[in-house]
Amino acid sequence: MKSWFISCILVTEWLLPTSGEDCPSPPPVNNSILVGTCMEGNFLGTYICITGYHLVGKKELLYNNTSLEWDSPAPICRLGHCPIPVLVNGQMNSSNLEHFSDGDVVTFECDTDYILKGSNWSQCQEDHTWIPPLPICRTGQCTPPRKPENGHFKTKGFNSGTNVTFYCDDGYQLIGPQSLQCMDGEWSHESPICEKMEAKKEESCVFQENNICETVQKWIQYQKASGQTLEELKYSLEIKKLQLEKIKFS
């Protein structure tokens, strides 16, 4: 196994060791440093850009002696510490739009009808990254919410600030918020669901003598018609029961 250290600055000059191992010459990358290893005709190289340049592409290249080809295209070293920021549906503001050095700051703004998500500025770091992370521009319109099974919703649109109201079919009840609001491209809550309502149990009578059962049923019907509370109904039934017992033993 052979290892070597190669530098390529502006002018490509490769100083490859002579050995019995038939290793290919790695593709030249200006303004880079290459660390390579050759073993049995297979070559693995790692490209490192010099100060003031950043790598674009895959930093490692592998030559396979079986397939006789490189696993990916050679990278390039581009001037500037950081890659040029890309803001879809927006634009960046900077005095220099071609290359960015350590400490350079850019600001961002979105096109009309788009909302900035993230920081409106970022600074180029020495390690070739942008801090804070680059933002994105999102449309202020919300995607249509999920329609609940056994239900539906009504709305005048999906723009920011509009509301959506949900309704369930007969025999189903709404579980969750009935209304959602679109806020900067996102809904205020999760969509509700429609759950099947349990069937109401029929009232049954436990009394079987002296027409008490019939009386209770009549009082239940009266309670529904009059709007009495259960406590009021209970009190009335107790009085009626005492009256019936008094008649029974008189």
d(CA 98, CA 95): 9
H or E segment at 30? none
Q: In 10 A of CB 149, how many CB atoms?
A: 11
Q: In 10 A of CB 184, how many CB atoms?
A: 14
pLDDT computed for residue 223 by the predictor: 61
**C-alpha 25: how far from chain center:** 45
pLDDT computed for residue 13 by the predictor: 37
Residues of the chain with pLDDT under 50: 4-20, 203, 207
Distances (CA, A) of 23 to 4, 121, 151: 12, 47, 69
pLDDT in tens, 161-203: 899 999 999 999 999 999 999 988 889 999 999 999 987 655 4
pLDDT computed for residue 176 by the predictor: 93
H or E segment at 242? helix 230-249
Rg (CA), the chain: 39
In the DSSP assignment, the letter for residue 150 is: T
d(CA 22, CA 40): 7
Q: How many CA atoms lie within 13 A of 92 on its CB side?
A: 22
d(CA 67, CA 55): 26
pTM of the model: 0.43
Hey, what domains does the chain have and what are their CATH numbers?
Answer: 2-79 (2.10.70.10), 90-139 (2.10.70.10), 151-196 (2.10.70.10), 202-243 (no CATH)
d(CA 57, CA 44): 16
Instruction: Determine contact, residues 2/21, Cβ cutoff 8 Å.
Output: yes
Q: In 10 A of CB 146, how many CB atoms?
A: 12
